Amino acid sequence: MSTPTDEQVHAVDAFRAGHHLALQAGAGTGKTTTLEMLAASTERRGRYVAFNKDIASHAATRFPRTVTCRTAHATAYAALGHRYAGRLNGPRQPAWKTGQALGITRPVRIGDHEISHRTLSNTALRAVKRFCYSADRALSRHHVPRLRRLATPAEHTQLADAVFPFAVKAWADLQNPDHGVVHFEHDHYLKMWALTQPKIEADFLFLDEAQDTNPVLEQVFHAQRDHAQLVMVGDSAQAIYGWRGARDVMTAFDDATALTLTRSFRFGPLLAEQANRWLELAEAPIRLTGSETMPTEVGDIADPDAVLCRTNIGAMAEVMRLLSEGRRVALARGGHTLAALAMAARDLKEGRRTSHPELVLFASWGEVQDYAAYDPAGGDLQPFVDLVDTHGPEAILSAVHELLDEEHADVTVSTAHKAKGREWPKVKIGNDFPPPKDTDEHDAQGRPIPEPVNDSDARLAYVAVTRARQQLDLGGLSWIDTWFTMSGGGAEVPEDDPSAPSPGRH
């Protein structure tokens, strides 16, 4: 991109004029290059804030020396977190031991369920984590997470009443920089730093991946607006982490000048057409134009470089299928999550309770099977149950051990969530992206009209299809052609209510 696009020139002009900016940058549209242009257009001193250390380190090699490139955690560590360095390196221990040290020694009866001291301990520590992600100034009962199978509000209130005092003890324990019983994590000092209402000394701030900002960082960033020019850059259509507390802060940045980057340098016009379908369904503020110099084919691929799935369980099923074909397989970010689920299933099948947070209230594997098959809230567990029942926990664990690193593999399997920010020459979409269900209404030919595409599913599909550079196999998303025909396309998409992910999600 030796010659700036009109959109990039416009962004530089708006930045030099001193406006706060919300820069919507579609997939592959050169957002980092554009930020370089902004930084190079001024002699003022700035900060670039990224979520990932590797991204921040890479940015440091590209930005002028007037811009400091760090993660939010690195910024907080330099200001406050270094005081807790000794605790950060402390030994890990099971959550139940931490809970025991905090005073959790007995189970609690809620409805038909006995909540063990292990589960109470896990839940108390998770409440602290949720508080650390939030913009709240004090820990409260609403930070206590819900447990699967405690279905009623009254049951959750009982859980919160039982857990909250120990969560308060845990947070108080973390304030001691020298010693304590709770394992100290990076999110703890980030929250402590945010609570000091810090002032970041800079003339301007760049916030990357702003669509996935946790409220704790959003609060800190916005608090700098009186003394620094703020630039948020991201892609609202890639806001796919709402289930873990992240918010798309770009669309709420009311006093910023809204700008766009829409020409993708990653792929060609055919793939841009596919991306725009999902952008329409997600009611995104941009549409993409592909690069004529990067022709991308859309069709069947026999040997993809990557297979992208919707769920962890779908990824595991894909791994096992590819291994059975003799392929050398890598799984993005390893198989730790899947191994933990398989071990939890093995414990239940062998008559032991498990401490896995998603399965902790089940006494046996049969209970999990019944819950997945018959409980309306348990449908998302069915693919996991099917995988275990078909292959068995040991086969799943063996498959995890057969995985290679990506450099030595023929194909990488990933969830679309974990593929965010990455790209491959040839991408195939896994078959665990289900089409919307049919409604009771019918068209003129008597065919059932499908439901609207869920907003969060549309965003995830957009992320998945835009990972390809040269070839895209729609695979499990091929139903989109029929959906547009049957629904008329462009139907109003309802707002989704984000909820915590299940074992089969993300």
How far lies 358's CA from each of 92, 149, 335, 418, in Å? Answer: 21, 10, 17, 20
Residue 73 has pLDDT above 50, yes or no: yes
pTM of the predicted protein model: 0.78
| pLDDT-derived band at 489, boundaries 50, 70, 90 | low
Higher pLDDT, 377 or 336: 336
Q: Tell me the two tokens of residue 297.
A: 């084919």
Q: Tell me the two tokens of residue 503.
A: 């074992």
pLDDT over 90 for what percent of the chain? 62
Burial of 121 (0-12, 13-18, 19+ CB in 10 A): buried
Between CA 307 and CA 413 the distance in angstroms is: 5
For residue 333, the one-letter residue type is: R
* 298 Rama sector, left if φ>0, alpha if ψ -120 to 50, beta otherwise: beta
Is residue 188 a contact partner of residue 87, using CB atoms and an 8 Å limit? Answer: no
Between CA 411 and CA 404 the distance in angstroms is: 10
Query: What is the residue whose two structure tokens read 């001691």?
Result: 176
Residue 487 has pLDDT above 50, yes or no: yes
Q: What is the mean pLDDT of residues 311-323?
A: 89
**Phi/psi of residue 307, nearest 5 degrees:** -120, 120
pLDDT, residue 361, reads 78
- Of residues 442, 443, 480, the one with CA closest to residue 458: 480
| pLDDT-derived band at 468, boundaries 50, 70, 90 | very high
Residue 245 has pLDDT above 80, yes or no: no
- Of residues 243, 192, 250, 245, the one with CA closest to residue 221: 250
Residue 327 has pLDDT above 50, yes or no: yes
Residue 127 has pLDDT above 70, yes or no: yes
Between CA 53 and CA 37 the distance in angstroms is: 22
Arithmetic mean of pLDDT over the chain: 89
H-state helical runs in 28-181: 31-40, 53-60, 72-79, 85-88, 95-102, 117-133, 153-174
**Phi/psi of residue 353, nearest 5 degrees:** -75, 155
Q: What is the DSSP letter of 250?
A: S
Task: Taking the CA atoms of 171, 175, 176 and 179 in sequence, report the sign of the dihedral they define.
Answer: positive
317 in helix, strand or coil? helix
- Concatenating the DSSP letter of every residue in 217-239 gives HHHHHHTTTTTSEEEEEE-GGG-
Partners of 47 in beta bridges: 68, 205
| pLDDT-derived band at 492, boundaries 50, 70, 90 | very low
**Phi/psi of residue 374, nearest 5 degrees:** -120, -20
Residue 326 has pLDDT above 50, yes or no: yes
Residue 266 has pLDDT above 70, yes or no: yes
- Of residues 200, 166, 197, the one with CA closest to residue 182: 166
Query: What is the residue whose two structure tokens read 């530089």?
Result: 12
Residue partners of 445: CB distance under 8 A and separation at least 6: none
Higher pLDDT, 295 or 164: 164
pLDDT over 70 for what percent of the chain? 92
| pLDDT-derived band at 201, boundaries 50, 70, 90 | very high
Q: What is the DSSP letter of 330?
A: E
Between CA 32 and CA 62 the distance in angstroms is: 9
Q: What is the DSSP letter of 266?
A: S
332 in helix, strand or coil? coil
Between CA 171 and CA 43 the distance in angstroms is: 42
- Of residues 372, 394, 358, the one with CA closest to residue 506: 358
For residue 427, the one-letter residue type is: V
Residue 261 has pLDDT above 60, yes or no: yes
- Of residues 400, 418, 407, 401, the one with CA closest to residue 333: 418
Residue 51 has pLDDT above 90, yes or no: no
Q: What is the mean pLDDT of residues 445-473?
A: 92
Q: Give the CA angle between residues 483, 488, 493 to the nearest 5°.
A: 75
Residue 499 has pLDDT above 80, yes or no: no
Is residue 303 a contact partner of residue 407, using CB atoms and an 8 Å limit? Answer: no
Please write the tens of the pLDDT for every residue from 137-155. Answer: 999 999 999 998 887 999 9
Residue partners of 146: CB distance under 8 A and separation at least 6: 156, 159, 500
| pLDDT-derived band at 497, boundaries 50, 70, 90 | very low
